[in-house]
Structure 1
Amino acid sequence: MNDKNFKKLPIQLSEKLITEIKAGNSLFQKSIKENGLPAFVTPVNPTTGKGYSAMNAIILGMQRHDDPRWMSAEAARYGGNWVKKDEKGTIIEFPKTSEIQAIRTAEGKRIKKDGVTQTKTVEFDKPQPGRAFLFNGSQLKDMEPLEEFLAKQQSGQTLSPLERAAKLIDDSKAVIIHGGEEAYYDQKRDAIFMPEPENFENETKYLQAAIHQLTHWTGHEDRLNRTMEGKFGSLDYAREELRAAIAGILIGGELKIGHNFGQQAAYMNNFVKILKDEPFEIAKASRDAQKIANLLLGVSQKRQQKQASETPGFKQGDEISYMDTTYKVLETYKTKSIKVEDSTGSRKVLKPEYGLYKSLLEAKTNPLGQEMVMDEEQGEAVEQEQSQKVGR
């Protein structure tokens, strides 16, 4: 891929969103497809079971597939699946801290042993943007039937989608005051105001609206401390709404109750202006939306509990997706070194001090971290001196 001719991914995403918004069929505007199924299906790597970061999830979700499974052609081949004829991949980006390169002679020829190219791991001083083309399960041959995969996904889930949504709202411990006709978050009073549940079309609509207000509630200085400025209809107001909208899509997809952006028509013109004038804002908004979703879904807490209760390490048979390939652990040693085989058949022994060893361990114990969007942290504390309605 020629970087000089490559249009950066946030720009590509912004341009596509603008086109869809103008056509009235973006994820913000249409949460249900014509076949009656959710417009956004949370993408997942079926081999590792891990999801994708917010921006990548939106990119994949905008393809409108009903199948949540996504992986690279190489990873698919490693699992015995193949890309169907004429299917095109969807590009995503992720930060990579190292790269596997072929070992070459002084003349530039690859060094091979028993017909296998020998490789080395090159560590980067700073994370570099990595790219991968992914294919949906519906684009691959010989995949496990979707119904069976989905049944396995839900096998340990005892609560219904609506029960999970209600539990998420209750677990947040947010102050929710019912009454009136508007749904909004009052930042100064740190309280969510909602119409009575019976005023909504059904329970799903009520829960979706409450979760949307919860996404704004996370911005309080005692929580994620986001800048939430501007009056209704302003660009600053729209920036917060963009973050809340993306987070609502992610949470609704995870809980399987879908999303409802509410008064979306009031924000679309400003969304288009922001995406057109500041295309990289979508990456920043996605990063913040990821934090919102993580906080409300409890992803970070679950990960910390899991890591605290488990001793990090490898075991024979582990399959770890990293850098658009999959590594299988063939042997483990008392020294904690491991022998691995990648999807090309190349084998090597990795010691704990090796960069690739550390990267694979991180990919195993913190799978979400490998897909996080690269952005500088921005977030300054902003004092709110007056009552402010957000998310009307």
Structure 2
Amino acid sequence: MTTTRKTNHNVYKVTSLSDTPAQTDIYARVTGKIITDLENGNLTWRKPWHSDHLAGQVMRPLRWNDIPYTGINTLMLWGTAAEQGYSSPYWMTFKQAIELKANVRKGEKGTQIVYADKFVVEEQNTKGETVTNQIPFLKPYTVFNASQIDGLSNAFYKQPEPVTDNVQSRNDELEAFFAQTKADIYTGREASYSITTDRVQMPPFESFETPESYYAVLAHEITHWTRHPQRLDRDLGRKHYGDEGYAKEELVAELGACFLAADLGFEPMPEAKHAAYIQSWLKALNDDKRLIFSAASHAQKAVEYIHTLQLV
């Protein structure tokens, strides 16, 4: 017999480990939205940098207590903010707004995001032994942007920091950040990461149109660098250029670069390869409705790992 044991030690019978209709709908809805964007030539995760309403630096979406959202929720909230013209980075539930003595305006439509967790399943294998597995699950809930709420303190309506002038020189803070990873970075003809030699190749700084484009590409390659077995050991099945595993790893690196750009305050400039990537991403997303969730999760782990290296 199979049972699930929650953290409060209550035990429940499990009749099936397949996704519930609600969970399946979450995967399909989010993936469907991103597929539509890609078919229209748009990258959902880059929308914040191309919004007419935004007058400052792009940052991570924030909870009411200043804790950033992560993973797939970052993409979902970025997309909604860009489409609806929300300039505040803050999001909260209806109940949280009330607790802050504020109220969501009548008629406002919330944005559904997800809470991810795991429960423990104990079952007997064919040998009669009890084995334990962790089963991930998603629970949807709705949040509202501060721009949809009346009565919050002025701090929730703050505008992002202004974008600094684009000086054609290296940025000392970004140079120090990437140097602290201790990645082996050398100058070559094209941008790439070799897992065999564990080296990142970057074209000369002067060959990029802007400093931001250089750091965006470097962030992309450093995200690839985290897949090495001695780091996060991320293996998505990549065997050769252009296969399904390649498309998945490129999606992780693309999201990782955007997350880092938001954290560090620069714009992830478009890459020439994006047109080719879009077709491979469309196929992969159509084949696997969970892909964008797992890719965002892998990207989040990569970025968190890179940030931890700053503390060493």
Please report the TM-score for the alignment, with normalisation by the length of structure 1: 0.61
- Structure 2 residue runs of 5 or longer lacking an equivalent are 1-19, 120-133, 162-169
Alignment match of 1:135 (pick from 136, 139, 144): 144
1:29/1:264 contact within 8 Å kept = no
Contact 2:146 2:156 in 1 (8 A): no
Structure 1, residues 29-67: CA drift from partner, whole Å, max 9, x if none? Answer: 656324274896411112x22122201111111111332
CA distance 1:151–1:92, shift in 2 (3 Å): closer
Q: Is the counterpart of residue 194 in structure 1 residue 215 in structure 2?
A: no
- Residues 303-354 of structure 1: per-residue CA shift (max 9 Å, x gap): xx9xxxxxxxxxxxxxxxxxxxxxxxxxxxxxxxxxxxxxxxxxxxxxxxxx
Does residue 274 of the first structure (1) align with residue 295 of the second (2)?
Answer: no
Q: Answer with 1 or 2: which has the greater Rg.
A: 1
Q: Write the letter of the residue equivalent to 2:184.
A: V
1:339 equivalent in structure 2: none
Identify the residue that residue 35 of structure 1 maps to in structure 2: 52
Matches within 5 A, 1:272-311: 272-298=282-308
Aligned partners of 2:160, 2:274: CA distance in 1, in Å? 33
Pick closer, same or farther for the CA change 1:40–1:282 going to 2, 3 Å.
Answer: farther
CA distance in 2, matches of 1:213, 1:285: 16
Task: Report the counterpart of residue 89 of structure 2 in structure 1.
Answer: 68
Partner of residue 230, structure 1: 239
Query: Matches of 1:292 and 1:133 in 2, distance apart?
Result: 27
Cα deviations across residues 88-120 of structure 1 (Å, max 9, x unaligned)? 11111113689xxxxxxxxxxxxxxxxxxxxxx
Are residue 90 (structure 1) and residue 111 (structure 2) matched? yes
- Shift of the 34–286 alpha-carbon distance from structure 1 to 2, 3 Å rule, reads closer
1:9 matches 2:17? no
Q: Secondary structure at the match of 2:302?
A: helix
Unaligned runs of 5+ in 1: 99-124, 153-160, 306-392
1:1-392 matches, cutoff 5 A: 4=21, 7-27=24-44, 32-35=49-52, 37=54, 41-46=59-64, 48-63=65-80, 64=82, 65-95=86-116, 129-145=138-154, 149=158, 162-180=171-189, 182-227=190-235, 229-260=238-269, 262=271, 263-298=273-308
Superimposed CA distance per residue, residues 3-26 of structure 1 (whole angstroms, 9 cap, x where no aligned partner): 756753222111000000111122
Kindly provide the amino acid, as one letter, of the partner of residue 16 in structure 1.
Answer: K
Structure 1 vs Structure 2 CA RMSD: 3.0
The separation in 2 between residues aligned to 1:221 and 1:6, in whole angstroms, is 32
Cα deviation for residue 254 of structure 1 reads 1.3
CA distance in 2, matches of 1:199, 1:13: 37
How many correspondences in the alignment? 264
Q: 1:257 to 1:20 in 2, by over 3 A?
A: same
Cα distance change on mapping 1:260 and 1:242 into 2, 3 Å? same
SS in structure 1 at match of 2:153: coil
Q: Alpha carbons of 1:12 and 1:147: their partners in 2 closer, same or farther (altered >3 Å)?
A: closer
Distance 2:156 2:114 in 1: 29
- Residue 271 of structure 1 deviates from its aligned partner by 0.6
Q: Is the 8 A contact 1:40 1:249 kept in 2?
A: no
Q: Please give the TM-score of this superposition, normalised by the length of structure 2.
A: 0.75
Q: In structure 2, do the counterparts of structure 1 residues 79 and 209 end up closer, same or farther at CA, with 3 Å as the change threshold? A: same
Kindly tell me: are residues 6 and 213 of structure 1, through their superposed partners in 2, closer, same or farther at Cα, counting changes over 3 Å? closer
Q: Secondary structure at the match of 2:144?
A: strand
- In 1, the alpha carbon distance for the partners of 2:53 and 2:106 equals 28
CA contact (8 A) 1:14 1:282 kept: yes
- Contact in 2 for aligned 1:183/1:195 (Cα 8 Å): yes
Q: 1:45 to 1:5 in 2, by over 3 A?
A: closer
1:220, distance to aligned residue in structure 2 (A): 0.7
Alpha-carbon spacing, 1:225–1:242, altered in 2? closer, same or farther (3 Å): same
Highest relative contact order (Cα 8 Å, sep 6+), 1 or 2? 1
